[in-house]
Copies of this chain bind each other. A is one copy, B any other.
Amino acid sequence: MNKGNLLTYRPDIKVVDATVRDGGLVNNFFFSDEFIKSLYEANCKAGVEYMEFGYKADKDIFDEKEFGKWKFCKDQDILDIIGEKGDTKISVMADVGRCNYKRDIVNKADSPIDLVRVATYINTIPAAIEMIEDAHNKGYETTCNIMAISNAKESEIDIALDLLGKSCVDGIYIVDSYGSMFPEEIRKLSETYLEAAEKYGKYIGIHCHNNIQLAFANTIEACAAGVSYLDGTMCGMGRGAGNCYLELLLNFLKNPKYNIYPVYKFIEEHMVLLLENPDVLWGYDLPYAITGYLNQHPRTAIAATSEKRKDYVNFYNELIEKD
């Protein structure tokens, strides 16, 4: 395990751009083709190792008319956009229980996708492992992203890591879905995950939310502890308070292969318009800080900000009463 310092870099680090996948939760995946194409080009030029194009959602569960195509990430849609593949590998996310993976995930040899990330809550790990085995056997790299980890007990985490350690998964992700964790908690959790990783020969990744303005801080804390797959999004775009800012992350990492110019260019050409769109909301706001502080799902805060509620005292009281 490498730890690095502020002047060197770690060759084991991989950056995963999750702008479309997590950002799609904000605009129902209605990105223009031009946006996706430009983002892929920007990531290739910037040296970003992976770009996640979206979810492999089951069209029998989600109506294709209600979502943009990146909710479903059909292989042909990806190929139509990118033309030839560049250096950035392609990732998709598959949710336990919401992906018909036997039908919709074909053999890697016939797909532009490189990495399948299986998202699960801690109580559905066995189902996640089935999906991971399927993807692995089809030839994909795989990760298991255990969501809402701030709500799991230490004993549950130990069991989950043991199950995953013995599986064929390549990497295991720490996911602070509620954006409620502090760097010292991330440090301890990273050490727990890394212990399993070393034992079983896996890598560890991290995906953070910015409810209490700690997404970037938690990502670099995990990185310093030895976590090597780091998620970020352009301008922090993502559900609710959003994610770790990819531009901050690339500036922090010292690997000379990263080039920040294509990122700034993409932001000025594409993200500025999204940031000015009143119907596409993300980023730090007090209601998200409150759900983060309370270690709750941000759905109430998303509703409050979309209704432009400013009665924060009432909002806080409502959430406390629900506990």
Give the size of the chain A interface in residues (CB under 8 angstroms).
37
With both beta carbons as reference points, the residue of chain B lying nearest to A185 in the complex is identified as: B6
Interface string of A143-184 (1 = CB under 8 A from B): 000000000000000000000000000000000000000111
Of B214, B252, B265, B313, the residue contacting A261 (CB under 8 A) is B313
Closest chain-B Cβ to A239's Cβ sits at a distance in Å of 17
- The answer to whether the Cβ of A220 comes within 8 Å of any Cβ in the partner chain is yes
Complex Cα distance A316/B261, Å? 9
**B248-A212 in contact (CB<8A):** yes
Enumerate chain B residues within 8 angstroms of A104, measured Cβ to Cβ. Answer: none
Complex Cα distance A224/B185, Å? 13
**A313-B264 in contact (CB<8A):** yes
**Considering the complex, which residues of chain A in the window 190-214 have a beta carbon less than 8 Å from any beta carbon of chain B?**
210, 212-214
**B213-A245 in contact (CB<8A):** yes
**A264-B316 in contact (CB<8A):** yes
Closest chain-B Cβ to A250's Cβ sits at a distance in Å of 10
With both beta carbons as reference points, the residue of chain B lying nearest to A315 in the complex is identified as: B264
Of B184, B210, B220, B264, the residue contacting A312 (CB under 8 A) is B264
Interface string of A293-316 (1 = CB under 8 A from B): 100000000000000001111001
Enumerate chain B residues within 8 angstroms of A251, measured Cβ to Cβ. Answer: 212, 289, 293
- The answer to whether the Cβ of A82 comes within 8 Å of any Cβ in the partner chain is no
**B216-A216 in contact (CB<8A):** no
With both beta carbons as reference points, the residue of chain B lying nearest to A251 in the complex is identified as: B293
**A286-B264 in contact (CB<8A):** yes
Closest chain-B Cβ to A246's Cβ sits at a distance in Å of 11
A–B Cβ pairs within 8 angstroms, 24 of them: A6-B185, A182-B220, A182-B252, A183-B183, A183-B217, A183-B220, A212-B248, A212-B251, A213-B215, A213-B245, A235-B286, A245-B289, A247-B289, A248-B293, A260-B316, A261-B316, A264-B286, A264-B316, A265-B312, A265-B313, A267-B286, A268-B311, A268-B313, A284-B284
**A-B complex: 3 closest residue pairs judged by Cβ atoms:** A217-B217, A264-B312, A251-B293
